[in-house]
Each structure stands twice: as structure tokens, then as C-alpha cells.
Structure 1
Amino acid sequence: MNDAIRFAHPQLALAVALCCAWGAHAQDPLAQAKSDPGALSPVVVTGERSGGGLWRGAASIDVVDGDALRDGQAQINLSEGLAGVPGLVIRNRQNYAQDLQISVRGYGARATFGVRGVRLFVDGIPASAPDGSGQAANFPLGSADRVEVVRGPMTALYGASSGGALLLYTEDGQRPAQWRTGLVAGSDGLWRLSTQATGQTGTAQAPGWSYAVDLSRFETDGTRPQSAADRSTANLKLSRRHEGGRTVLVFNRHSSSALDPQGLSRAEFDANPDQTNAGALSFNTRKTVAQTQWGLAFEQALGGAHKLELMGYSGQRQVVQYQSITTGAQVPAGSSGGVIDLDRDYWGWNARWRHESDWQGGRLSLSAGVASDRQSDSRKGYENFIGTTVGVQGKLRRDEVNRAQTLDPYVQAEWRTQGLTLMGGVRQTRTEYESTDLYIVGTNRDDSGRKDYQSTLPVLGARWQINPTLQAFASIGKGYEIPTLNEVAYRSGGVSGFNTELNAARSTSAELGLRGRADKLRWSATAFDIRTDDEIVVQNNTGGRTTFQNAGRTLRQGLELAGEWRSGPVTLTTAYTWMWANYQDAFMTCTTAGCPNATPQVQVPQGHQIPGLPPQQLFAQAAWDTGWAGSRVTLEARHTGRVMVNDLNTDAAAAHTLFNLGVQFKQERGDWTLREFIRVDNLTDQKHAGSVIVNDGNGRFFEPGAGRKLMLGLEAQRRF
């Protein structure tokens, strides 16, 4: 702890000391909320769950149960079950080489692959690297207990680049033991087979280890040529309670291979959205991933209502990706080729003290801790040709080691009564980047470099109950988004080399909301305002290389509405998001290869919309439990507004509305439970862009969405 606080401001160290001293005098027994995941929680969020959210919390948090993620769904992509969360944009690119496109209140919209600016966790273990990049492909949906979607200022407590957070928690093994297996088959050669087993060793009087195992395999031919993919995932969770605490061990193995159909130009998309760019076919663009990780968490009550929580994790990730960069673009000495070979080792830990007691007529929760994450990337680049043969690994053109590490002390306090919640916290985040260039050949110079990013992120929130069915909440805080290692990998002109000129973006975020509940109705309405300085934007994106720069100010303002109404066998669910996101200052950008003289040539005017973000998004679902054969019929409508494709706002993906119809069946036969479903997505077979590749330098912005698709599923479950 002393080494960690050395990095903090004196005020933060004093705050830690005061919190520890304050808690040391309380003698009430520790009372832990039923929903608290303990040491597997990356930060402390307490509250009483109701209607899919945290009723007594001072933050915008939606909770989607595991059954809602699985019932009537393919259980392949996180996008299937989270469309009903306001403020969240989560799209299936129909390109498994690039992962889902995820943004929260505008954070993460610039990501052309993977996830940026939004933190991902599985059972408390980061699925995001210290530099803020992440992938959602290894989320084990088949064994999910719930997903928590955190939005607003409070997300700063997760560290840098936390414009939002998605936290998946897997189920614990219980008695009686259960086994289930499911098969899904659908259009385009899609199928998924999975098996889960949960249970507990020992006896009911003397329980031993709880276990949960999840194995799955998925394959598809893809919706376009060059879009086939497969994925295998294994997830294991072991937990055991002991006197005053618990120990949890988690293990995850993920491997996948996917062809990359890339995007289409406007002309290609209009002519035939089912086609694939010729470059992707000739270079056989593709990506393979293999990842293994484990985590260990331990929590122990210390007496006097104090508690210690420790968590550590480690993993290894390998990625090989073949791009369609032309052979001519690889001639310059600074080119890193057209094949990416990444070997990543990562590890981290989180140590936290917690205290919970009665104080001044309410419940007081205090916590203080230190979190550290590290990654070491051995990154090589090769030419993607040998002679006249393309799409194969050629000569070495890049060899470097990139390292990132964080060390973040944090404190948090929450005081809660029936009618009032006061919440505050501060996290000091420090990230160190270092790049060591091992490829110095001829005129290719030494491109080594290093840079540190540091900020203190305070947040405050309050919730007050107006009456038993209505409450208001508000929060405000600072945000800090650092560029990823991939974003600092290229200097102006798209030449490889550590870009030390790229700074972090700083923001101030505020929200104000109302939420209510009654016998049949749950609803919420939240307005937010986010003002950012030094927004990270694209400077140039050509030749397979993207260079980033800092622009001026941006503004994101929006309104989130959500509701659920139940009456007898009918349930109506809606979620609507309106957001206006634009550049408050003009800035210069490049539109030509190489960015001549490393100087941007074209102005992005003040007031232009930030690309990748729909101004409006609507989800509406009607579900009817028919009472016949345990069946439920659901009809969904998903509307996405017009989305700009680049900073210059020269083109946009048109608004569209998709309709999905599903029928589910459930039968109970002794110890057996059988579930079946049939689902048709995009009922009207509407042509649409499912997502856009923001600021693509080749003008291939559009990733076509899937047409009408049929899916069938069967699951059998048995209790022992």
C-alpha cells in the first residue's frame, strides 16, 4: 500500500488515512448486500435491486439477468440481449474478425475494431487491457448470471478510459446439481453447441467447492463471402466459502478464427450489400486468436466489520491477422507490413479494504484499495506477400515490445438510508507506456519511446426518494481517456513509431435522472451532459494505418428513457436514447495517403457530428405468455438513426428499423426441463448498414447488416 500511495497526490493519501481511521471505530457487524459479488467486483457498487437496476444507487446501472441473455437467443454475441439498455450502442458487425462495435454515451465510437473507451470485466477480471482496448468475444453467455451496464460519471471509478463499463458475472454452482446442453442452428450455416454443468461437492450440512463449467463451440459460413468464422470457449469457476470469507478460482480459454470481409464503399453497398471487396478476397484477409487466462479472488472478514479482498489474474493472448495492404504501400522503410503477429502477456491485481456499519441513522460503506494492471506485447509485422503471391507471410518489417502498466489507488464512500443515498469516490490513475524498437534496419530508424498519463478522477452522486414510488438521482465527475497502444503506434503520415505527441482526452460528465416503480410499471429518465477537451480523433487513415491526433472540445448531450410494464401475461419493454454529439472546435485532418509533409490539409468545421453515433436509438418489445405448452411470443422493433461515417460528415448510413419475431416453449417433466425456440430476425428483410467503419481512409465505411435470418434452438436441462 505504501508503494502505491507514493504515486498519489498527498490529498489522496490523506483521504485513505481518514477513511481507515473513521472505519476503525465502528463496531457493528459486517452486513453485505446480497447482490455484492465481493472480491470479484472491480469496484464497490452497492444497492437494492429492483426492476433491472439498482434502486437505491446514485448511478445509472442496468442489470440484465442471465435468463434474459439466453432465452430465445443464439448466445453467441453480447449484442443479442443488451439492446434494451438505454445509452448503449452495441452492434454486430457481421465480421467476427473485428468483434462487436460498442459505445456508451458516445465513448468508444471511434473504434474500428475491438472495444475502446468502455471497460469490460468477466467475474471481476478485466477483459480490457491497461491501455483501454478490449474484446467481448470471450464473454461466456451460456453460464452468465447477469450483466451489469454502468453509465455516467461513476464509471470513472473503473480507471482511465472508462466512459462506460460492462460487467459479466457467471453463475455459482448450487444444490441440486444441474446439467444442460443446447444446440442452435440458423441461416448462413450458423450453429452453436454448448454444455453447462453446475453443482457443489460435500454435503448440504458441510458444503465443499461450488463449480460451474461452460463449454461452447460456434461456427458460421458468414453473411458475405470471406466472412466465415468459428469460436471455441471454455469457462470454469470454482468457489468455496470458509469462515468469514470466500475463495474463488476462475479459468477461461478462448480460441477463434475468422475471415475478414472488410467494409464496402458507398457504390459497392448501394449496388450489392452482399458482396465483399476484391482486396479482401485476393489477400485472403483473416484473423486468428488464442487466449488463456485465470484469476484468483480471496475475501476475509477481519472482525469489527472490516473486510479484506484480494484478486489477482494472469493471461496470455496471441493474435495473427492478415490485412489487405497493397504491396506498393509496404515499400517505405517505415512500413510495418501487412501481417500482424501479436503475443501478449498480461497480469494484474486488486487489493481492497472494506468496512460497512450503521452510522447516523443510515448504512455507511467505506472502501479503499489499489489496483494494478500490466501488459507486455511482443509485436511483429511481416509483409503479406512473397514475390507475386499475396496473402502469405513474407519478410519481417516490424519487431518491437510495447508495455503498459497502471497503478491506481482509490477510495469510495456511500451512506444510505431509506430516503437518501450520498456517494463519492476518487481514483488516481497513472498509466506508463514504453515501446522498445528491435527492428532498426537501413533507413528504418529507432522508433522507441515512452510516455506517462496521469490524472485524478473525483466523482460525487446523490439519490433522494421523493415518495415510495419515485426517486431522483444526480452525479458529476471527471473522466480521462488515454490513447491505446495501437493508437500511439504511428506518427503523422502513417509511419510506424511511438507517437509521443498524442495526449489523453479529459472530460467532465454530469447526469440527472428520475426513476419510478409501481405494481405493474418500472421506468427511468436520465439526462446527461459530457464536455471533453483534447478529444482523440483520426488524423489520417490510409494504407491500413491510422494516425491519431488531439482535436479541441466536444459536447455530448442526451436523454435516456426506459420502461417495463407488465399486466397478466403481457410484458411491454422499451428503451429510447436521444443524443447530440458534435465537435465544438474546428480542427484539421487528412484525406490523402501519407498526409503530405505530415500536415493535415482539410478542415473539419465546428458543429460537425461525431461519427459512429446515431442521434436516436429505440428498442421496443412486446412479450405474451400464451399459457399454451409453456410458450411465449415476442415481437421486437429496433430503430437506429442516421449515422455519420467520418469527421467531415460527407456521408452517412441511413436510419433503419428492424423487426424480430420469436416463439419460445418450455416443458417441465420431473427433473427434466426442455426449452425450444424459433426466431426470425429482420422480418422485412430490410437492406441496412449494421455498423460503420469510422473514418476509413479508403472510403469503405459500410458494414452491411444481415438480411432475414431464421434460427432454431433446443436446450435440455436436468437436475440431479
Structure 2
Amino acid sequence: MGFSHCTARRFFGATAGAIAFLCAGTHAATPQKRALPRSRQHRADTTVPARKPPVTENILITGISHAPATIRPAGQTTYSSDRSSFGNQLGQTVADMAVTIPGVSFTQGNGPRDTVVSVRGSGDRQSYGLKNLQILEDGFPMTQPDGTARADLIDPHAYEGMDVFEGPASTVYGNYAVNGAISFRTRKGADIHGLEIGSDFGSYGMFNNYATLGLGNRSYDLMVFASDVRGNGFIASSRYNTSTENVRLRVSLTPSDRLVLKFVNNVTDAFLPVRLSLNQYRANPYQQGCYNAASAAAGCASVSLFVNGRYGAKEAMSPEAAGLGRFDRRTIVGLRWEHDFDSHTTWRNQFTYDQRHVDQPTSPTSFAGPYNSYNVSSDITNQVRIGATSLETFGGISFDDLDYGYQTCNIMPLGGATCGAMSSESYGHQWNLGARFQEDWHFAPNWHAVAGLGGTYSDIGAMEAVYNYSAAGRTQQYITANRFFFNLAPEGALIYSPSKDWTLHARIGTAYGTPSSSNLFITPQGQYGNNTQLKSQSSTGVDVGADWHPDANSHIQITGFYEFYRNELVSQSAGVNTVGAYTFNAPASQHRGIVLGAEWKPFPKNFPGGRIKLSYTYDNQIYTNYTEVLSDSTISRSFSRKGNAIPGVIPNFLNARFLYDQPAGPLEGLGGYAEVTWRDSYWLDNASKLKAPGYALLNLELHYDPPARYGWAHRLHWYFEVQNVANTNWIAGATNISDILLASGRQAGAGTLMNSTGSVYAGSPRAYSGGVRIRL
């Protein structure tokens, strides 16, 4: 199911050393049963009788929720996808896991797996990574202290599911949880119970080999995963090779002590095209015939490179001829120790080391350097009875630190992303010290209330040296930034479950996100300079929703949200031949909308294997106070953006799947689906002059999992699918563009902005893929 109820389970390991709430998707026997103490929940993992609700081990501290399944801790809107939604099909990126989750959209980032995942529009206007979200995997932080997380690590074959916690969530997750958090859950070794080997293959030279080893019993659980995927890409200069290793080991040392070890390693080797203008996309979406810039076909994009690598004459080159790409490595190692003082109190301590080493010649300059970070956190959970009610108290602290050093150089027109003179270098740090406190009170059989407060003190210090060259020699400019931020985030929620079929919830949540050092040194002109006036963004959001099971064959979940933002950090491109995107504060904006998920079996008797799954999001985001200054070489003008739509945000998006899996008979295990994905058009600029066109795609999938009675054949799984059946031209990602001031003092219209480069990546044309997996 693409969405589920939330139970009162918590897991350790948020960036701020806090807690998260996982969705169980199960029903308690009665709505009045009380939750077990944390330590008893853990021990019950392997001893629960069959009549109890099914166990879902998300990480070590999972347990059996005896609380009503309709209860939602913190009232946070939560949707999930599990392996049944993505395990039988092509799994290349996190988009394959997230496509059925309401409130979640995604666009193409820089690289084959660099999917930009957005929750309620949080990351739609970014060019890479997962922004304004905290990302965790098996309880360990995957977001570095500067708020950077990337989806390159994620090969869906390794995962049991993902849970998305929507809305402002800094009380629980700390800095950068402006639009919530995402928790990824790898597969349990005991469920795998052996070795699985598989291969995917498809259009444009795609080939993925992967293997998963799983072992487990009451004392330990081990999952080891490795994959290697490569392909030529459907756009010129987009061939890639990505390898991933993922390990999780759980060990029960004593009845009161447990260890969890986590290891992730990813190497991304990808050549990159450059983003197009809208006119270039319409003329040549896949950038064919563009290798030689001097004789390139229409619609080709290029980069302008210093011939001598320092100053003077420039030469235009295609990204393929220049050798642009991303050649990065990410390694994460984490260890968690959990100790039960007694049946009511559990202490958890966790350490995570995270190194991200980048080598990115993605523009006229090449960017390279290490980002080393660590996260230390500790928390205590205590659960007591107060009369006929239960009260759970949580307190936690954390500290994370990032140290980095990078250099950029001018790329020369010699091929292979050859470095010329150094153009800049930067060194700095960011650390966050956080504390969390939360009370979780079941004050009546059908009522649940949560109140909490979190805070983070952040320290950012950085230095950037910028080098300029001329015939007279080299000059340098030194820019320093030392900023301190302190932010608080209270929250409160009330949940009412009048019956096992209904849950009503209301929540007020708050969140904050400090600028990161990368925001402080690129001006609105897209050049190096001082941008240190930035403030922390903050949000206050109200969620009101309902979860309804009208019968055993239907499930509907709907939430309305209204969020008030202050000093929202917005990033947009100044063009392809500039240093990069720049960041600014929009003083006030509002995000409001509706998130809907539904699942329905329309003919449970005649077609018991048929069902319909629907997710829909309406997202209306506007500036309520923002004045933008535009300049040309001689004049400047101010323009109010009040009432304008925030660019990059998709106002309507829908996913509908029509599925069938044969439950019995000779064709048992045969299934498939038809999927329609629709994205509305959306604005690309602050003045609301130019829109990226919307699209609708049709995908088809067929798979076969032979039943156990077929003996050895039961170990073999296969699938085949067709993506973009109608071969539609569509935009997979379009970053925001800057408005232009004409010599007349007026803003340029859509006709001019359609030539602004550095925005559009085309989506895949019709593609065929298939795969096999065998269990040994």
C-alpha cells in the first residue's frame, strides 16, 4: 500500500538525535490496547504469537504496536511505499520507490540516480539532491550537517520500503527538516534467507547486476547488498556507471543490549549534458548532433571555456567534447548501541561518520574536494502509567559537524575536463548542537496528544578565495563568512480515533533551515561574491486530516495543509555559463494544498487480484512579501512578487495505477499494471512569465513470481515493462531561471526567457526494460 497508518513506534538516529515515527500499516486487535514499554517491544519482535499484528522491523528498535493502528504519533501526515509497490519492476532510482506516495514529486538532478525528491514542493526548484528534508536509512542520518543529501546512494533493490513524514518537522528532526523527513528501510536478512542474484537490462545500454545476501535469527540479522549499473543514457553525453554497497548488521549482545552496524558506499561515474533553454529543448530535446560546437545541429547547448585556462579568448564546446561530468564517492559508517535500564526505560547512543568526496566538472569550472562529517547523538525514552493513561517521555541531544575544503579550476577546451588555472578555493565548517524533548500522552482511550520542543544552535564559518587573471598577472579576492544561528521549533498535535475505521488528526508544526556555506558566496548575478546577508528560513504549518477505512477493500487518506514561511531560501540559476545557482531570502510566502491517497478493490469477488491505487497532490505556493531587484548594465528596477506563484513548484500532480495479480490457479503469481502519471505545467521565473509544459505518461509492466508449489521454479522471478508508451516528449527537470530587465526598464516576456539556458533536462523517450532474479 502506498500509504499507511502510523503506530506509536519510534526509531533513533535523526540528525538532531531525535526520533521518528514509522508506519506499521497494521490494525490492533482492539482500539483500547496500550503500547508496550520500549524494551518489551523489542524483545517481542521474535516471540509474538501468530494472533498478534504482523511485525515490521524497520530498524533494531522496531516492535509490535499494541496501540490502535489509527493512532498517529505527533499527528504527522505519513505515507509509505513498500516492496510490493516497486520490488517487481525496474528499480533504477528513488523515483521508482516514491512514485505512488501522495505529496511526493521528483525531478531529474545531475546524474543517473541524482533524483530531486520533493515533499509538498520542497525540492522542486532545486537542481540536485534532496533539500529541505532530513533523510535517514535504518535510523542513521544520510543528510550531512549542511543539509545536503543525494539519492545516488539508493538502489531500490536493497530496500523494503520508505516512509515519508510530511510537514514542518524540526521539533523531531532538527535543522533542515523544513518540509519533513524520509526514512528508508533496507530489507531484513531473515526475510531474504539466502542469496539473491539479479540482472536488469533495457534501452540505451542500461544494465544492472546486483546481489543480496540475507541471514538472520533471534540473535542477529545480516543484510549485504551490492550492485553495479551502467548505461549510455538517452541524452548525448550522459553515459554512466554507478556501484553501490549497503550492509546492515543487528546483534543482540544480551537481553538488554543491542548493536546495529551500518555501512553504505557509492561511487558515481557519470558524464553530464548541460541543461537547455526551453527553445533548445523544443528543437533538440536529446541533444543529438551536438559534439562539434562549431557545426552543431539546432538546439545544442555548449559551455564557453578560456582557451588558455585563465583569461582572454574563449571557445565554445559541447559538454561531451569538454568532458563534463560527476565522479563522486560517498561512504557512510554508523554504529548504534541500545540499552534497556528496565522494562520502561531505554537508552540509545549512535555515531555516524560520513565522507562525501566530489569531483564535478559540471560547468566552465570544475569543482573538487572532500566533505567529512560525523554525527553523535544520545536519547532516553521512558514510558509510565498515570492512572488509566499512559505517558511517554523522550529527551535527546546531538552534535554533528562538517569540515570541508574544495577547489575550483577553469576548464580548458582540451577535452577530458582538463583543469587550467585555479579559479577559487574554499575551506570551512558547519556544526549543529541540538536538543529535543517530547511528551506523548494517551489521555483517553480514543484520544492522543503530543507536545514537544526542539532547538538547534548552528555555527557556520567559511573562507573563499577567488582568483582572477589578466595579462598583468593574478589578483585575488578573499571572502569570509562567520554566522551563528539559534532556532526553536515547538509542535503540538491532537488525534481522535472514534472507531477502528476512522482517525482524525490535527497538528501545528514548526521548522527551520539555516543557510549553508555554499549559499554564501554566489551573488544573484551568478558570480563569486558576498551573499552573507542570508537569514534562516522558518515555517509554521497546520495539518488537518482524516484516515478512513470504509470497508476491507477501501482505504482513503486525505490531509489539508497550510504553511506560513518566513525568509524562505530559494535558489535559481543565472545561466549555464555562470559559476552556479544563487540563493536569496523571500521574506514571506505561503504553501497550501491537499494531499490525497486512495486504494480500492472494485470487484473483490469476481477479480480479487485487481485494485486501483491513486495519489494526488494540489500544491499552491505564493509569495506574500517579496520585492526583487533586476538590473542590466545601466539601470535597476524593483518589482513586487506579491501574489506570484513560487517558481518550480508543480501545482497538480497525479499518479494512478491499475493493478492485477492473479491470487490462485495455474497463473498464480502473474501480474502487472498500467500506470498514468500526470504533472501540471509550472512557472520557471519569479515574474510568472514562462512556464514549463506539463505532461502525461503511460507505463506498462508485467511480472511473474511462480508459487511455491512449482518447486525450483519458485526461485525465479522475471518482469518486463514499457515506459512512456506513447513516446511523449516531456521535461524531467527544469530549474528556475532569472527574469531579465530590458533596456526600456521593463521585464522581458516569455519570448525572451525561452532562450535562457541552464534549466531543462528532457525525460526519457519510450524505453523497454526487463529483468530476472533468482534465489539460491
TM band (smaller chain): 0.7 to 0.9
Deviation at residue 210 of structure 1 after TM alignment: 2.2
Q: Does 1:86 align with 2:102?
A: yes
Within 5 Å, which residues of 2 pair with 1:458-497? 458-491=490-523, 493-497=525-529
Contact between 2:126 and 2:572, CA under 8 Å: does it hold in 1? Answer: no
Output the CA distance in 2 between the equivalents of 1:307 and 1:528: 34
Letter of the 1:616 partner, please give it: N
Letter of the 2:458 partner, please give it: T
Contact between 2:36 and 2:65, CA under 8 Å: does it hold in 1? Answer: no
Letter of the 2:241 partner, please give it: D
Output the CA distance in 1 between the equivalents of 2:64 and 2:368: 39
Q: For residues 98 and 145 of structure 1, do their structure 2 counterparts lie closer, same or farther at Cα, with a shift above 3 Å needed?
A: closer
Deviation at residue 623 of structure 1 after TM alignment: 0.7
Instruction: Give the corresponding residue for 2:196.
Output: 180
Within 5 Å, which residues of 2 pair with 1:24-63? 30-32=39-41, 37=58, 58-63=75-80
Output the CA distance in 2 between the equivalents of 1:27 and 1:562: 30
Which of 447, 467, 476 is matched with 1:420 structurally? 447
Output the CA distance in 2 between the equivalents of 1:629 and 1:304: 45
Task: Report SS of the residue matched to 2:280.
Answer: helix
Output the CA distance in 2 between the equivalents of 1:634 and 1:711: 15
Which of 220, 223, 227 is matched with 2:234 structurally? 223
Instruction: Give the corresponding residue for 1:71.
Output: 88
Unpaired segments of 5 or more residues in structure 2? 1-15, 17-34, 43-54, 288-299, 304-318, 469-473, 740-755
Output the CA distance in 2 between the equivalents of 1:556 and 1:713: 41
Instruction: Give the corresponding residue for 2:750.
Output: none
Instruction: Give the corresponding residue for 1:662.
Output: 701
Deviation at residue 358 of structure 1 after TM alignment: 3.0
Contact between 2:686 and 2:738, CA under 8 Å: does it hold in 1? Answer: no
Output the CA distance in 2 between the equivalents of 1:710 and 1:265: 28
Q: Does 1:637 align with 2:676?
A: yes
Deviation at residue 446 of structure 1 after TM alignment: 2.3
Output the CA distance in 2 between the equivalents of 1:550 and 1:175: 48
Letter of the 2:151 partner, please give it: A
Deviation at residue 647 of structure 1 after TM alignment: 1.6
Q: Does 1:369 align with 2:411?
A: no
Deviation at residue 522 of structure 1 after TM alignment: 1.0
Output the CA distance in 1 between the equivalents of 2:94 and 2:738: 25
Output the CA distance in 2 between the equivalents of 1:98 and 1:647: 29
Q: Does 1:682 align with 2:724?
A: yes
Deviation at residue 362 of structure 1 after TM alignment: 3.4
Contact between 1:188 and 1:223, CA under 8 Å: does it hold in 2? Answer: yes
Instruction: Give the corresponding residue for 1:333.
Output: none
Cα deviation code 1:318-376 (max 9, x no counterpart): 11111332xxxxxxxxxxxx110121111111100011233343332221011221111
Q: How many residues align?
A: 667
Contact between 2:108 and 2:761, CA under 8 Å: does it hold in 1? Answer: no
Output the CA distance in 1 between the equivalents of 2:207 and 2:738: 32
Output the CA distance in 1 between the equivalents of 2:71 and 2:325: 42
Deviation at residue 39 of structure 1 after TM alignment: 6.7
Contact between 2:462 and 2:480, CA under 8 Å: does it hold in 1? Answer: yes
Q: Percent identity?
A: 18
Instruction: Give the corresponding residue for 2:316.
Output: none
Which of 137, 142, 151 is matched with 2:152 structurally? 137
Task: Report SS of the residue matched to 1:77.
Answer: coil
Task: Report SS of the residue matched to 1:311.
Answer: strand
Letter of the 1:214 partner, please give it: F
Deviates more, 1:428-437 or 1:698-707: 698-707
Cα deviation code 1:376-430 (max 9, x no counterpart): 11111111117x7783111122222121111100012212365122112211012
Task: Report SS of the residue matched to 2:479.
Answer: coil
Instruction: Give the corresponding residue for 1:10.
Output: none
Instruction: Give the corresponding residue for 2:301.
Output: 277
Cα deviation code 1:563-583 (max 9, x no counterpart): 111221111110111111111
Output the CA distance in 1 between the equivalents of 2:180 and 2:636: 31
Which of 592, 599, 612 is matched with 2:648 structurally? 612
Output the CA distance in 1 between the equivalents of 2:240 and 2:273: 11
Contact between 1:39 and 1:311, CA under 8 Å: does it hold in 2? Answer: no
Instruction: Give the corresponding residue for 2:766.
Output: 708
Contact between 2:276 and 2:759, CA under 8 Å: does it hold in 1? Answer: yes
Deviation at residue 173 of structure 1 after TM alignment: 2.1
Task: Report SS of the residue matched to 2:581.
Answer: strand
Letter of the 1:705 partner, please give it: G
Task: Report SS of the residue matched to 2:157.
Answer: helix
Task: Report SS of the residue matched to 1:269.
Answer: helix
Within 5 Å, which residues of 2 pair with 1:182-581? 182-200=198-216, 208-241=219-252, 242-275=254-287, 277-279=301-303, 280-303=319-342, 305-325=344-364, 338-385=365-412, 391-416=417-442, 418-437=445-464, 443-491=475-523, 493-497=525-529, 499-517=531-549, 518-538=551-571, 541-542=574-575, 543-566=578-601, 567=604, 568-581=608-621
Instruction: Give the corresponding residue for 1:673.
Output: 715
Output the CA distance in 2 between the equivalents of 1:296 and 1:369: 17
Cα deviation code 1:84-124 (max 9, x no counterpart): 2111112345x516811222112223312222111111222
Please report the TM-score for the alignment, with normalisation by the length of structure 1: 0.87
Letter of the 1:521 partner, please give it: S
Letter of the 1:234 partner, please give it: E
Unpaired segments of 5 or more residues in structure 1? 1-6, 8-25, 326-337
Task: Report SS of the residue matched to 2:587.
Answer: coil
Task: Report SS of the residue matched to 2:320.
Answer: helix
Output the CA distance in 1 between the equivalents of 2:773 and 2:97: 18
Q: For residues 540 and 196 of structure 1, do their structure 2 counterparts lie closer, same or farther at Cα, with a shift above 3 Å needed?
A: closer
Deviation at residue 68 of structure 1 after TM alignment: 2.4
Output the CA distance in 2 between the equivalents of 1:381 and 1:264: 23
Contact between 1:40 and 1:123, CA under 8 Å: does it hold in 2? Answer: no
Deviation at residue 181 of structure 1 after TM alignment: 1.2
Output the CA distance in 1 between the equivalents of 2:71 and 2:79: 7
Letter of the 1:64 partner, please give it: S
Output the CA distance in 1 between the equivalents of 2:38 and 2:766: 57
Output the CA distance in 2 between the equivalents of 1:155 and 1:513: 20
Output the CA distance in 1 between the equivalents of 2:244 and 2:563: 37
